[in-house]
Structure 1
C-alpha cells in the first residue's frame, strides 16, 4: 500500500533550521498502529505517480522475507522521514549517511543496518559542458551552486565539505541554491538558474538513458571535482518504540533484502551494497561520528543534538 505526501515545489530551509526542527520533538513516540504492518517512509524518486520505483521492489522483498504487510508513504524530504520515524508515525526509512547521523544523534532513532561508504568519491559538482568554469577554484561569489536538500549527504554535506577543502566558504565565496532534490538541481543547471549542480557521483552514469532523474545526454555535463568517500553510505533507520517481534524480523530480513543478489533490482537503492562487504547490524552511534566533523564545516553541530 502506498500513500503520497505533497511534492516539493520551492526552496528548502537551511541546514541549521532542519536541526532546530528535529529538536522541536519531545521524546520518541511509541510506534502506533498495527504491529503486523511495517510502515516504511521514503522519498519519491520521481514525480510520475505511475512510475515503478525501487521502493516498490524493497516493499515486496520485505513482505516476502518478514511475512509482514509493508505500507509505503512518500514524504517530501529527508527531515520529514526522520521526523515521521522519530514521532512514531513510521517504523523505518532509508537514509544516506548524514541524515542518519543527525537522526541517531537525537538518541530517539535507531539504525538497524548500515553499509560502509567504500573508497570511491560520493559527490561531484557538475557544470554544463559549455560553462567557462574548469575547476572548483574558478567558482566566484557570483557563481550559483545548487544543492539537493540541506539534510542530504551526497547532495549537500559532502559537496559543501569538498568546496571548503578547495578554499570556498559557503555564503561568502559562492551563492547557494537549495533546489529540493537532485533532479531539481539538474533542472536548475539546465535552465540557467544554477551555474553548478552538486550531486551524487552515481547520477552522471545515467546520461543518455532518458532517465528523468538525470535529463542530460552523454557529454552535456562535466565534473569540476569530486568529494572524499563517506564512512557510511546508507542506513535503515527505525523507531525504537516498535514491537520486539517486528524489530527482530527487520534485523533478520534487511541483510537478505539488501543483498548483492538483489542489487540490480534495487536500482539506486542498491548502489550502496558492496560486493564482499558485510553490512553493520544495529551499528553504534560511534559509526556515524565522522559525519559530525564534516557537518561542522556546514555550520551544523549534530554532536549533541537533543
Structure 2
C-alpha cells in the first residue's frame, strides 16, 4: 500500500516541521486527530478507469479543514480491515462490500446513496442462439460469470436468474471466467452459451472494447437484473473523534455531489442523479444486499 498526505487548505501545520522540533506522543496523537485517513480503490467496473484520489482529497481537505491522507489498497477486504483496525478513518465502497463491512458491526456507514433505476447486469447470448429468454436456459447450458466476488458479474446476475426460477449448478452450469472481458471471449469462442456481465459493457458493442468485443447485432440481451438498492457508501472507523466524525458527516454529502462530478471521476459516475444521500443509515438499509448475496451462496450477514 502507498500513502500520500495532502495538507488542509488555509495554512495547516506541516508534519515535517513537527518532526524536527521533537514532538511528543501526545502531539503525534493531536496531529493524527487532525488528519482524515481514507482508503481508496476503484469503484468502476472498468479496470482502466482511474480513481481521482488527489482531487477528492483536495475537496475533502477544503471542506473540513483537516489534512487528508490517502492510502491506495488492493481490495475491498483490505479497506474494511483497515477501518476496523483503526488504521484508516473512512473508506469509499460499492454496495456489496459495504454490506459486508456493516454486518461486522465494527464499522459504521456514515453516508450512503441508493441506486438509480438502471439494471446492474445483463445476460447475453450470440444473435443466432436458440436461447430467447432466461427461461430457455437448460441444465446443458453454461453461463459465464466474471468473478464470485463481483456485484455485476455474479451477485446480481445470479439473483436475476434465481428470480426466473433457475438455480445454479442445477438448472445451468457455472463457469467463472476470471474477468468481464474473459467472459465475452468465452461467449465469442463458443465455450459458453450465456454470459452475464455489467450492463455498461453491453452498451459498448461496436466500439472495439475488449470488455464487449462484439459488433452491434452480434449478440442479444435475454435478461436484465434489478437496480442496485445501494450504489455507493462511505464507511467509517467507530473510534474516530466526535469532532472528526461531525466534520465528515457535514462534508461528505457536499464533496460527493453533482457540483463536483467532473473532479470525482469514477466516483461521480457511481453517484445516481437526483438521489439525496442517507446520513448514518441503519443496517436495514443493506439487508436487501445481504439477501441477494445469500441467493448467490454467500453469507455476509455474520461476517467474522
Shorter-chain TM-score bucket reads 0.7 to 0.9
Give the aligned partner of residue 154 of structure 2.
156
1:83-102 maps to which residues of 2 (within 5 A)?
83-102=81-100
How far apart are the structure 1 equivalents of 2:52 and 2:204?
16
Residue 119 (structure 2) aligned to one of 115, 118, 121: 121
Report if the CA contact (8 A) 1:148-1:156 is conserved. yes
- Relative to structure 1, the CA distance from residue 203 to residue 57 in structure 2 (aligned partners, 3 Å threshold; closer, same or farther) is farther
1:42 paired to 2:56: no
Deviation at 1:187?
Answer: 4.7
How far apart are the structure 2 equivalents of 1:216 and 1:60?
40
1:201-220 maps to which residues of 2 (within 5 A)?
201-209=199-207, 214-220=212-218
SS of equivalent residue, structure 2 residue 203? helix
Q: TM-score, normalised by structure 1?
A: 0.74
Residue 229 (structure 1) aligned to one of 218, 227, 230: 227
Moved more, 56-65 or 217-226: 56-65
Deviation at 1:283?
Answer: 0.8
| Paired residues, number | 275
Moved more, 112-121 or 57-66: 57-66
Report if the CA contact (8 A) 1:59-1:72 is conserved. no
How far apart are the structure 2 equivalents of 1:263 and 1:38?
22
Give the aligned partner of residue 175 of structure 1.
173
- Relative to structure 1, the CA distance from residue 144 to residue 80 in structure 2 (aligned partners, 3 Å threshold; closer, same or farther) is farther
Instruction: Select the structure of larger CA radius of gyration.
Output: 2
Q: Give ranges in structure 2 of 5+ residues lacking alignment.
A: 4-30
SS of equivalent residue, structure 1 residue 274? coil
Deviation at 1:218?
Answer: 4.0
How far apart are the structure 1 equivalents of 2:188 and 2:56?
32
Report if the CA contact (8 A) 2:42-2:266 is conserved. no
RMSD: 3.3
- Relative to structure 1, the CA distance from residue 61 to residue 151 in structure 2 (aligned partners, 3 Å threshold; closer, same or farther) is farther
1:292 paired to 2:257: no
Give the aligned partner of residue 141 of structure 1.
139
Report if the CA contact (8 A) 2:38-2:70 is conserved. yes
- Relative to structure 1, the CA distance from residue 283 to residue 184 in structure 2 (aligned partners, 3 Å threshold; closer, same or farther) is farther
How far apart are the structure 2 equivalents of 1:178 and 1:93?
28
Comparing both structures, which one devotes a greater share of its residues to helix? 2
Deviation at 1:40?
Answer: 1.5
Moved more, 100-109 or 123-132: 123-132
How far apart are the structure 2 equivalents of 1:190 and 1:92?
41
Report if the CA contact (8 A) 2:98-2:235 is conserved. yes
Deviation at 1:170?
Answer: 1.2
1:54-93 maps to which residues of 2 (within 5 A)?
54-55=52-53, 57-66=55-64, 67-75=66-74, 77-93=75-91
How far apart are the structure 2 equivalents of 1:91 and 1:235?
14
Moved more, 282-291 or 217-226: 217-226
Give the aligned partner of residue 277 of structure 1.
275
Moved more, 228-237 or 173-182: 173-182
